[in-house]
């Protein structure tokens, strides 16, 4: 059995309330419950954290060391420029899976760079809510138990 940290960054608490054409109508809570269910089906547990503050996300990543076998992260817009999240993930000793609801590569040029991707085993983007199911599978495929 492994524990997974599910991290969401800025503005993702607004999911389902605005911009449905880009992000759909699924709320953050729905996404989190989907991950909890998909993990439970495989015998794993999930701690879900969302913050609009970069430092909170960095601290959550620090605290994952030795506690969580994997991190599934949708860092929101911080994906594109947060070197502190990049460095924190670099110091983490478990598996990192990057997820995006939309496909940032098909959007504005500033979204086409991810400073998270080089610290992740894979990036799942553009599949909406279904991406979170795949992220759980990617997180636990070879994740050691803790």
By the criterion CB under 6 A, which residues form the site for ligand CA2?
11-12, 14-15, 18-19, 23, 74, 76-77, 79, 100-102, 104, 111
Q: Which residues contact 127 (CB under 8 A, 6 or more apart)?
A: 134
> 42 or 126, CB closer to ligand CA2?
126
Alpha helix positions (H), the chain: 20-23, 28-41, 54-64, 83-90, 130-140
| Of 31, 68, 86, 100, catalytic | 100
CB of 66 vs ligand CA2, minimal distance in Å: 27
CB of 77 vs ligand CA2, minimal distance in Å: 4
| Of 23, 44, 86, 92, catalytic | 23
Q: Which residues contact 38 (CB under 8 A, 6 or more apart)?
A: 132, 133, 136, 137
* Catalytic residue status for 23: yes
> How long, in residues, is the chain?
146
Instruction: Extract the tokens encoding 2.
Output: 């492994």
CB of 7 vs ligand CA2, minimal distance in Å: 11
* Catalytic residue status for 100: yes
Residues labelled as active-site residues: 23, 100
């Amino acid at each position: 059995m492994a524990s997974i940290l599910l991290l969401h960054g800025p503005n993702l608490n607004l999911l389902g309330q605005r911009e449905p054409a880009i992000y759909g109508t699924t709320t953050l809570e729905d996404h989190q419950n989907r991950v909890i269910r998909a993990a439970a089906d495989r015998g794993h547990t999930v701690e879900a954290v969302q913050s609009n503050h970069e430092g909170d996300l960095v601290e959550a990543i620090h605290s994952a060391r030795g506690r969580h076998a994997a991190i599934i992260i949708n860092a929101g817009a911080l994906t594109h420029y947060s070197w502190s999240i990049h460095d924190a993930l670099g110091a983490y000793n478990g598996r990192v899976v990057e997820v995006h609801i939309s496909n940032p590569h098909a959007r504005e040029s500033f979204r086409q760079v991810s400073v998270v991707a080089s610290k992740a085993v894979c990036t799942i983007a553009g599949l909406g809510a279904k991406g979170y199911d795949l992220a759980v599978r990617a997180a636990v495929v070879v994740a050691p138990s803790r």
